[in-house]
Structure 1
Amino acid sequence: MRNTMPAGYRSMVTSPHYLASAVGSAILQQGGSAYDASVAVSAALGVVYPHMTGLGGDAFFLIYDAASGKVEGLNGSGRAGSGATVDAYTRQGLFAIPHRGPLSAVTVPGMVDAWWEVWQRGGRLPWADVLEPARRYAEEGFPVSRDLHRWMQRDEAWLRQDAGLSSLYLSGGRLLGEGERLVQPDLAAALRTLQAEGRDAFYTGSLMKGITEGLRKDGGLLVPEDFAAHRSTWVKPVSTTYRGCEVLQMPPNSQGFSVLMMLNMLEGMDLSGIGRNSAEFYHLAAEVVKRAFRDRDRYLTDPEFAAVPLEQLLSKEYAQTLAAGIELQPPAAAPHLSPASGQDTAYAAVVDEDGNAVSFIQSLYFDFGSAYMPEGTGIILQNRGSFFSLEETHVNALAPGKRTFHTLMPGMMLQNGVPSLLMGTQGGEGQPQTTLSLITGVVDYGCTIQEAVDLPRWVYGRTWGEDSDKLRIEDRGLGAEADRLKAWGHNVQLFGAWDGIMGQAQGIRIGSDGLRTGAADLRGDGAAIGW
């Protein structure tokens, strides 16, 4: 039985794990700001949701500052190491970057520096206090959640292969069960060091030394100079308008602009007569996704290495041109083949009493990232850099100092210049698609934020090992609509209700009267807490 959607006029927190949401709520009630609470939630997720995120990963923040009325983005993604060259892999006989192990840890983890930047920008509580809940959960332990246990079972072979991971997730030769206590003493020690020494401990101090020494021994490429050179980047969000609302996303190297392209295409279509769970809706959704993904895959990379023509891609005129190519009478599916991408991600959002709003997302890329933990660190390193191409002419080709094509994309919608919706989700290819579902659910179908999160979802694309795209749809009474989609040429694959492949979305809606309502996804272990 679902709980009533939380509502309140003061503050709201939502995340994919109830303990992390409780941490954010406690920080706000101690007098912390949304800046403090977002860092505390992010750090707590790195402990209690270790299959999705952690100190060894990246994070992106989209922040509305109530005092100034401005929205800023913080790109906390890491860059490829100085020794991360195409030749470094090809001379080992590799034609692609491995997805797991030390060689998949290509980019410097950016999340810790992102915490520091956000906290410095608007934090009120002491740095050590903001990280204290995460440290306590690492040191004292917490019960293994349903979603964590599910991924532990799926990735058991990887967990057994790494000494650090196996020491944490196995006891007496078996995986810890759901509800059993998971204690992470090395991670607790790392957090304690961060509390005492700040972000420099991770980039020039003892934590950096432990990580890079482990990588050196195990054949990795990152070196101390790579960590010392890392800095997050404050950026201007990219935006479009949709039916009178302003929708903001992170600029490249984030894929956020792709959902803005989808909204631009849909804006010219009347959805009022199209049922949300109809074949017509899923056909439209899949076709705008394909067209946006073609351009995303063609252009998206680190803008410091190649120009991304955002002015053209986000123009309403270009959207009309793309939309004109969608076959509607009769409907027909267009072909497309997207690159497969990882799906381990954790999205959360916070609004405080002053109206500051933070929409943020973080990841290790794959579930348990690289499945590699340098000895004694307690830190799982991300494998985000494995998405780089080893083809030197590819737009996302590996190069030292380069940020890779990034799936992370926290979202925010404004009305009359102030936030009305914070939204985001787990799931690589699914992130822009579920964001599209949330926005159209609220704007076009009159849903509350919880109803929008609960809508049956779709994910168009492919996963690792597949040679064709599929249109995956949650089957909640779809019936003959699925057959109609197949007749129109869609490669439909039906899933049961609340299937984990659809990701875990969260959101906060803010009414014109200041009422905050929050939602967490049934597919995860999350909670929304407000008052």
Structure 2
Amino acid sequence: MRDFHLPGRSEVLAAEGMCATSHPLAAQVAVDILKRGGNAMDAAISAAVLLGICEPQMTGIGGDCFVLYTRAGSDEIRALNGSGRAPAAANPDRLRARGLNRVPDHEPDAVTMPGAIEAFCHLSETEGVLGLDALLQPAIHYAEQGVPVAPRVAFDWARDAGHLQGAARDFYLMDGAPPHVGQVFRAPAQAEVLRRIARNGRDGFYSGEVAEDMLAALSALGGVHEAADFANVSCLPTEPIAGAYKDVELVEHPPNGQGATAILLLNILARFDIAAMDPLGPQRAHVEAEATKLAYDARNRFIADPDHAARTEHMLSQEVADRLAALIDPAQAMPDAAPLTEAVHKDTVYVTVVDRDRMAVSLIYSIFRGFGSGIASPEFGILMQNRGSGFTLEPGHPNELGGGKRPMHTIIPGMLRENARVTMPFGVMGGAYQPAGHARLVTNLVDYGMGLQQAMDAPRCFADAGVLRVERGYPDAVRQELQALGHKVVVPEPPLGGSQAIRIREDGVLEAASDPRKDGCALGY
């Protein structure tokens, strides 16, 4: 139990249904959908689409999603890959001929097909009960009437506004500047797009005027995208992957997501007595940092479109994890693994919903970098993701840019299972941080017995791009000890990620927590 003398928040408890996400309006909409008779999938889709209006720098209908979910009365976890492919004409040689060694973040070459709307339409039809028209009405309402900009959203908006270009500046700046806290953001043109999707399903987005508008924006900047690339977008039902950590089982979405990295990271950490370490001490931070370097190096080598890579078993192998763990020196930081050629960034939203029948949904939805590619369609203002910058230009690499390929993705929804029972859908936002965030949340819960909210509130650190990012919540003495171990310690300007979770207790009560690093909350009824 937390100390009620100190600032903080308690877990939210409810019996019927629950949503936890990064913006209060989206959480409220999800609960409203549940009260109207919708199930958890209906609620998650409705909340997710609205998040594109509440947090347009993070996500939107021009992006991708991954989903884990169960059906009512079942503990079988299903997965859906809602990530889009590179256009058929994408060619890495063209970029290498320009002297580039990575896909530029803010050019059409980084824009992959938007897969989220296809996934939402599919899931609404196959798993939902209310119908797509009902699910899109809240987002249509708020896109027209407007949403007051929340504090963390305003912080990110100001940091990322420089990525906006051309028509995007007209849609996402106000009098040429990022909005301030409380200023009302409206997106009436997107409301019209959502009406067309509500009326015509996927065809309202991937063909006709909306698709032509996106295609025009890309073509004007030299993109190789064609109408057929939009028309051929499809989502992919797939099988989750899983790994055990002590008494819990972590379930992740398979590649091209990076969920296998979290499983490998926990398998490495299992070789150490994490529970005996001070949760905020230098020893734990050091071991996690070293394990992260090794797990992420494996990620960069092996995770790609599953049609072009077959090394997932390597990532899940305990034998591989044991060999990697043996490389960790408890008294000295190792040099970084090979430098990344893939871009990684932080901008993602997450929503989890559990309904009265205990259908559970874990959904993550993103346009990748802040405001994606920064390219917006001129008529409807649809921001297009830059997931293609997750490809590498290294010849022969499984994640090499190629026509029709899906890039390595940073977004990963998660679930925990205990004794074959699904106990917690959860997610940790934060781009590259996400696998490390999954591992940190699991070890906080399992090794230290923290409460769910306490496990999210606790300070974080992350070995990334040659530095160890250590949040201000750590004591200065710990930073000094980590520097003495050879780490280059920095305090990140934005905090590390954000998280949401719903625990399904054995007594049937739902218990949820929401990360204070975001504006969101957990709501139930």
TM-score by length of structure 2 reads: 0.95
**1:195-214 Cα shifts (integer Å, max 9, x gaps):** 11111222233321221133
Instruction: Note if contact 1:508-1:519 (Cα within 8 Å) is conserved in structure 2.
Output: yes
Residue type of the alignment partner of 1:449: L
Q: State the partner residue of 1:48.
A: 54
2:157 to 152, 157, 160: 152
Segment drifting more, 211-220 vs 374-383: 211-220
Assess, with a 3 A threshold, how the Cα gap between structure 1 residues 214 and 325 changes in structure 2: closer, same or farther: closer
Instruction: Note if contact 1:58-1:363 (Cα within 8 Å) is conserved in structure 2.
Output: yes
Percent identity, aligned pairs only?
36
Q: State the partner residue of 2:335.
A: 335
Q: State the partner residue of 1:64.
A: 70
1:456 deviation in Å? 0.5
- Distance in 2 of aligned mates of 1:512 and 1:323: 35
- Distance in 1 of aligned mates of 2:515 and 2:65: 20
Structure 1 position 130 matched with structure 2 position 135: yes
Matches for 1:503-518 after TM superposition, within 5 Å:
503-518=497-512
Instruction: Note if contact 2:15-2:509 (Cα within 8 Å) is conserved in structure 1.
Output: yes
- SS of the residue corresponding to residue 272 of structure 1 reads helix
Q: State the partner residue of 1:267.
A: 270
1:93 deviation in Å? 6.0
1:95 deviation in Å? 4.7
Equivalent residue pairs, number: 516
Instruction: Note if contact 2:75-2:422 (Cα within 8 Å) is conserved in structure 1.
Output: no
1:280 deviation in Å? 0.8
Structure 1 position 314 matched with structure 2 position 319: no
1:492 to 489, 497, 508: 489
Q: State the partner residue of 2:174.
A: 170
Instruction: Note if contact 1:190-1:378 (Cα within 8 Å) is conserved in structure 2.
Output: no
Instruction: Note if contact 1:433-1:458 (Cα within 8 Å) is conserved in structure 2.
Output: no
Q: State the partner residue of 1:224.
A: 227
Q: State the partner residue of 1:83.
A: 89
Matches for 1:91-240 after TM superposition, within 5 Å:
94-105=100-111, 107-159=112-164, 161-171=165-175, 173-240=176-243
Task: List gaps (5 residues or longer) in structure 2.
Answer: 1-6
- Distance in 1 of aligned mates of 2:163 and 2:298: 34
1:33 to 16, 35, 39: 39
Instruction: Note if contact 1:37-1:130 (Cα within 8 Å) is conserved in structure 2.
Output: yes
- SS of the residue corresponding to residue 155 of structure 1 reads helix
Instruction: Note if contact 1:453-1:520 (Cα within 8 Å) is conserved in structure 2.
Output: yes
1:108 deviation in Å? 0.4
Assess, with a 3 A threshold, how the Cα gap between structure 1 residues 297 and 134 changes in structure 2: closer, same or farther: same
Task: List gaps (5 residues or longer) in structure 1.
Answer: 463-468
- Distance in 1 of aligned mates of 2:216 and 2:452: 46
Q: State the partner residue of 1:355.
A: 358
**1:294-317 Cα shifts (integer Å, max 9, x gaps):** 211111111201222x22331222
- SS of the residue corresponding to residue 509 of structure 1 reads strand
Q: State the partner residue of 2:522.
A: 528
**1:445-480 Cα shifts (integer Å, max 9, x gaps):** 111211111011012112xxxxxx111111325232
Q: State the partner residue of 2:427.
A: 424
Matches for 1:328-477 after TM superposition, within 5 Å:
328=330, 331-337=331-337, 338-339=339-340, 340-462=343-465, 469-477=466-474
Assess, with a 3 A threshold, how the Cα gap between structure 1 residues 232 and 484 changes in structure 2: closer, same or farther: same
CA RMSD of aligned residues (A): 1.7
- Distance in 2 of aligned mates of 1:90 and 1:265: 36
- Distance in 2 of aligned mates of 1:6 and 1:417: 25
- Distance in 2 of aligned mates of 1:165 and 1:5: 39
Q: State the partner residue of 2:3.
A: none
- Distance in 1 of aligned mates of 2:88 and 2:320: 38
- Distance in 1 of aligned mates of 2:158 and 2:128: 38
**1:310-339 Cα shifts (integer Å, max 9, x gaps):** 2233122222222122212xx211111452
- SS of the residue corresponding to residue 58 of structure 2 reads coil
- Distance in 1 of aligned mates of 2:378 and 2:250: 43
Q: State the partner residue of 1:465.
A: none
- Distance in 2 of aligned mates of 1:267 and 1:65: 31
**1:346-381 Cα shifts (integer Å, max 9, x gaps):** 111111110110111111110000111011022100
TM-score by length of structure 1 reads: 0.93
Residue type of the alignment partner of 2:82: G
- Distance in 1 of aligned mates of 2:393 and 2:314: 28
1:416 deviation in Å? 2.2
- Distance in 2 of aligned mates of 1:480 and 1:180: 41
Residue type of the alignment partner of 1:509: R
